[in-house]
Amino acid sequence: MSSWPEYVTVLPEGHPVKVYFEENQLVQSLLSEICAIDVQDDFELFFNVFNQLSSVEKRFTRKENQLFPYLEKHGWTGPSQGMWAFHDEIRDLFREVRSCIEAKSLNKVTRIVKRIAGELFHLMEIEEHRLFPNALELLSEDDWQEMREGDMEIGWMLAEDPVPYPAEEYVHPGEDRRKRRLPFSTDDRIRLDEGYISTEQLNLMLQFMPIDLTYVDENDIVVFYNRGDNRVFPRSAGIIGREVKFCHPPKSVDSVLQILKEFKKGTQDKAEFWINFRDKKIHIRYFAIRDKAGVYKGVIEMSQDITEIMKIEGQQRLLDWG
């Protein structure tokens, strides 16, 4: 794998597949370096190289959230199942190394790193001989250009971003008005920056979120709240169109007005509190909302019962529905 296949060399600079191969070179270099380090003698160097190698997570994430969905649209679902699982196995090995480092069990680290190296080399061979050639056959130029836009949001392993592809100014997905091939109709859907959603779906999503949301506009008027079955603080339709200072108990008004004042001045962007309320621990947060030009557009209030969250310890990685 020291030289690129011909199907890669003919691709334009910045093409997603060519970028994957640029990352391959980096991964191979890092693997060669880390396998030559004695972790006991030079832990600092080992740790630095290991952290660089860990950025392969960006590569995995791009494949899972960018490349695989496009392949699925063309009927090839194998990578989404088999290769994603392979990614997870490698992720587990990275976690093992970090656990060994935390436990100061450095004698185990070298063995695990060699396993990581073997798995990554095997993965890159599968990519070179099967994944990428087939992807180039299946996907259109429009697919690759759309994919590159999403790739930018996730990022790359490389020290510097690849050159633009195609060679034109990047357009954020929320501002891109090109017609896309989607497995659903966009009629009667709201176009958001990151997708399309119907009014019904949006209301249901907000209703079932385990958090209270209230939006106050730049004029201090309440314009929205979500209606859930288990709201921390009751709300009713009567607050819509009301000044926010009249929606809080008198003892809280001064704090609310101070928050709004500092948000509008631009001196603060967040305020948070936590209180005991009816045998529950409630986390209350306020976030200033600003447009791309930094102009204040209001504040969102988020309240959440975190009583059960505070009890969480360790990890739960499997379903527990028994």
pLDDT digits (tens, 9 = 90+) for 259-291: 999 999 999 999 999 999 888 999 999 999 999
Map out the domains of the chain with their CATH numbers.
6-167 (1.20.120.520), 200-311 (3.30.450.20)
Q: Does residue 218 surpass a pLDDT of 90?
A: yes
Distance in angstroms (rounded) separating the CA atoms of residues 199 and 234: 23
Selection from 189, 210, 121, 147 nearest residue 19 by Cα: 147
**Could you tell me which residues come within 8 angstroms of residue 119 by beta carbon, excluding any fewer than 6 positions away?**
86, 89, 90, 93
Q: 231 — phi, psi (to 5°)?
A: -60, 145
The tens digit of pLDDT for each residue in 24-68 reads 999 999 999 999 999 999 999 999 999 999 999 999 999 999 999
Inter-residue contact 215 to 222 (CB < 8 Å): yes
For a pLDDT cut of 90, what percent of the chain falls above it? 66
Q: Does residue 120 surpass a pLDDT of 60?
A: yes
Average pLDDT across the chain, whole number: 90
Tell me what the mean pLDDT of segment 236-261 comes to: 84
Distance in angstroms (rounded) separating the CA atoms of residues 299 and 215: 6
Selection from 33, 63, 68, 67 nearest residue 50 by Cα: 33
Residue 1: which pLDDT band, with cuts at 50, 70 and 90? very low
288 membership: H or E segment, kind and range: strand 280-290
The tens digit of pLDDT for each residue in 4-17 reads 999 999 999 999 99
Report the pLDDT value the prediction gives residue 211, as an integer from 0 to 100: 92
Cα distances from 274 to residues 211, 277, 281, 282, in angstroms, run 14, 9, 7, 5
Residue 231: which pLDDT band, with cuts at 50, 70 and 90? confident
Q: Does residue 309 surpass a pLDDT of 60?
A: yes
Report the pLDDT value the prediction gives residue 168, as an integer from 0 to 100: 62
For a pLDDT cut of 70, what percent of the chain falls above it? 95
How many residues appear in the chain?
A: 322
196 membership: H or E segment, kind and range: strand 195-197
Inter-residue contact 138 to 74 (CB < 8 Å): yes
Report the pLDDT value the prediction gives residue 179, as an integer from 0 to 100: 60
Report the pLDDT value the prediction gives residue 273, as an integer from 0 to 100: 93
Selection from 42, 93, 102, 91 nearest residue 64 by Cα: 91
Inter-residue contact 270 to 285 (CB < 8 Å): yes
Distance in angstroms (rounded) separating the CA atoms of residues 224 and 233: 14
Distance in angstroms (rounded) separating the CA atoms of residues 149 and 164: 9
Residue 171: which pLDDT band, with cuts at 50, 70 and 90? low
Tell me what the mean pLDDT of segment 192-198 comes to: 86
Selection from 33, 23, 28 nearest residue 157 by Cα: 23
Cα-Cα-Cα-Cα dihedral sign, residues 202, 204, 210, 214: positive
Residue in the structure block whose two tokens are 């392993």: 157
**Could you tell me which residues come within 8 angstroms of residue 194 by beta carbon, excluding any fewer than 6 positions away?**
173, 174
Residue 178: which pLDDT band, with cuts at 50, 70 and 90? low
Tell me what the mean pLDDT of segment 70-84 comes to: 90
